[in-house]
């Protein structure tokens, strides 16, 4: 909840337009975990002692075999440490193996260089740009960068 309500953390999230409570976050996580077409995973340091973010794969489109991946490294001290890249690599395999996706997709704000770099380092492809698709937290237009990866 703290991460989602922190403007530094949420500046690239569409959820920044809402105020989050323990109840709303708990309800969202429970809804995602109850679905059979979504993977909702915590990103935890290897020591297992610090939860630094979350990654979600899904929902899986039964018609197209595609699923979106959403990523949040909420702990600022973990930014730039490679957690996003590693989480994307692991979640990619799970999306293909557990959900049976034929293709995974993701997007981010143009100024979110860390997220864009993490997807590329994880082996994903840059698939396109939608110019001025979003209005950033600073009030200025932001491009939408789109990424994808097909199952091997």
- Residue 80 CA, chain-centre distance (Å), reads 15
No. of H helices and E strands in the chain?
A: 5, 6
Please tell me the predicted confidence (pLDDT) of residue 48: 77
Residues of the chain with pLDDT under 70: none
- Of 72, 57, 68, 58, the closest CA to residue 11 belongs to 72
Please tell me the predicted confidence (pLDDT) of residue 18: 82
Please tell me the predicted confidence (pLDDT) of residue 14: 76
* Domain of residue 74, residue span: 2-150
Domain count, the chain: 1
Please tell me the predicted confidence (pLDDT) of residue 98: 96
Residue with token string 């200025």: 140
| SS3 category, 4 | helix
91: CATH: 3.40.630.30
Please tell me the predicted confidence (pLDDT) of residue 25: 84
Neighbours of 99 (CB within 10 A): 19
Please tell me the predicted confidence (pLDDT) of residue 113: 94
Reported as a single tens digit per residue, the pLDDT across 1-41 is 888 877 887 777 777 778 788 898 888 888 888 888 999 99
Cα dihedral 92, 98, 103, 104 sign: negative
Please tell me the predicted confidence (pLDDT) of residue 145: 98
């Amino acid at each position: 909840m703290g991460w989602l309500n922190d403007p530094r953390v949420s500046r690239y999230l569409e959820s920044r337009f809402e105020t989050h409570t323990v109840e709303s976050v708990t309800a969202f996580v429970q809804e995602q975990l109850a679905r059979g077409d979504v993977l909702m995973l915590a990103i935890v340091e290897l020591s297992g002692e610090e939860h630094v973010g979350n990654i979600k794969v899904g929902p899986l489109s039964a018609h197209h075999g595609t699923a979106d991946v959403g990523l949040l490294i909420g702990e600022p001290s973990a930014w730039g440490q490679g957690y996003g890249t590693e989480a994307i690599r692991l979640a990619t395999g799970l999306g293909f193996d557990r959900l049976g996706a034929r293709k995974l997709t993701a997007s981010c704000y143009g100024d979110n260089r860390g997220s864009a770099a993490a997807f590329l380092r994880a082996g994903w492809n840059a698939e396109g740009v939608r110019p001025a698709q979003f209005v950033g937290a600073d009030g200025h237009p932001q491009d939408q960068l789109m990424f994808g990866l097909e199952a091997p």
